[in-house]
């Protein structure tokens, strides 16, 4: 009969409870950073058109390139090299933010700085996701292997419950006042005044506020659904 030291079981249970919210939430963040999400988002009824006449096909192309930058190993030169089609430039009100005066670049210098910051945050989030997932899966596997099904069941129910409590609160808050939530989110992760842009800037044209409202709902709502599925499996499957 395989036996597991009590303290190991306790550590595994704590890791699952504490880290499961990170695993579920960041799994949806990673799903958000795929080519499929903007394609779905831009096709939703009522999604705002670009006031400067960028087409849906253009938005898809530029958004996919921007997502690729966040996930690849390239420096900011990857985005700095992007150019509008021949004969097209940034709207006049945005041109003052091109320090070299080259308004044919798709992103101005202020946008490039923000995208560089976003890439740093993205890498940190994905690293946390990978480490958390390894620890949760490893802990669950150990508990299952040593026949600690009751501990595993309690851990999964606890982690799922914690996920639901946290994210129901966050989703409720952002639905009640998304603008305030969006501002506070950026103030936590980015330097003040580095993440505000003109309506004519490419980042806002690609990713208007509606895009981010739907994105946060997808991440939070998806994690709640996933937590319910995990809890359901733990409750009925690990009796």
pLDDT digits (tens, 9 = 90+) for 64-97: 999 999 999 999 999 999 999 999 999 999 999 9
Residue 1: pLDDT band with limits 50, 70, 90: low
Tens digits of residue pLDDT in 184-199: 999 999 998 889 999 9
Share of the chain above pLDDT 90, in %: 95
Judged by average pLDDT, the poorest of 3-7, 44-48, 69-73 is 3-7
Dihedral in degrees, nearest 10, Cα atoms 211, 212, 213, 216 = 130
Task: Tell me the domain boundaries of the chain.
Answer: 14-237
* Token pair listed for 175: 């639905």
Q: Can you say how many angstroms the Cα of residue 176 is from the centroid of all Cα atoms in its chain?
A: 20
Mean pLDDT of 39-47: 97
The radius of gyration of the chain's CA atoms, rounded to the nearest angstrom, is 22
pLDDT in tens, 100-155: 999 999 999 999 999 999 999 999 999 999 999 999 999 999 999 999 999 999 99
Residue identified by tokens 């690729």 is 68
- The number of beta carbons lying within 10 Å of the beta carbon of residue 96 is 13
What percent of the chain has pLDDT above 70? Answer: 100
78, 120, 107, 29 alpha-carbon torsion, rounded to 10°: 100
Residue 227 and residue 208: Cα distance in Å, rounded?
29
Closest CA to 224 of 152, 154, 166: 166
């Amino acid at each position: 009969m395989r036996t597991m030291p009590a303290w190991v079981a306790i550590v595994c249970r704590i890791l699952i409870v504490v880290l499961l919210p990170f695993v579920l939430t960041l799994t949806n963040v990673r799903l958000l950073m795929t080519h499929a999400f903007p394609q779905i988002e831009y096709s939703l009824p009522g999604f705002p058109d670009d006031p400067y006449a960028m087409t849906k096909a253009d938005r898809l192309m530029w958004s996919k390139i921007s997502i690729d930058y966040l996930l690849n190993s390239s420096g900011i030169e990857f985005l700095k090299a992007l150019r509008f089609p021949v004969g097209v430039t940034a709207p006049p009100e945005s041109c003052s933010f091109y320090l070299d005066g080259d308004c044919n670049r798709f992103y101005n210098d202020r946008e490039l700085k923000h995208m560089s910051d976003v890439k740093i945050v993205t890498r940190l989030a994905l690293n946390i996701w990978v480490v958390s997932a390894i620890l949760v899966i490893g802990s669950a596997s150990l508990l299952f292997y040593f026949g600690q099904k009751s501990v595993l069941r309690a851990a999964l129910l606890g982690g799922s419950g914690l996920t639901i409590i946290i994210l129901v609160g966050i989703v409720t808050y952002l639905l009640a006042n998304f603008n305030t939530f969006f501002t506070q989110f950026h103030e936590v992760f980015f330097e003040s005044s580095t993440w505000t842009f003109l309506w004519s800037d490419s980042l806002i044209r690609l990713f208007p506020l509606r895009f981010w409202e739907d994105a946060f709902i997808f991440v939070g709502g998806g994690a709640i659904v996933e937590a319910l599925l995990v809890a359901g499996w733990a409750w009925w499957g690990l009796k």
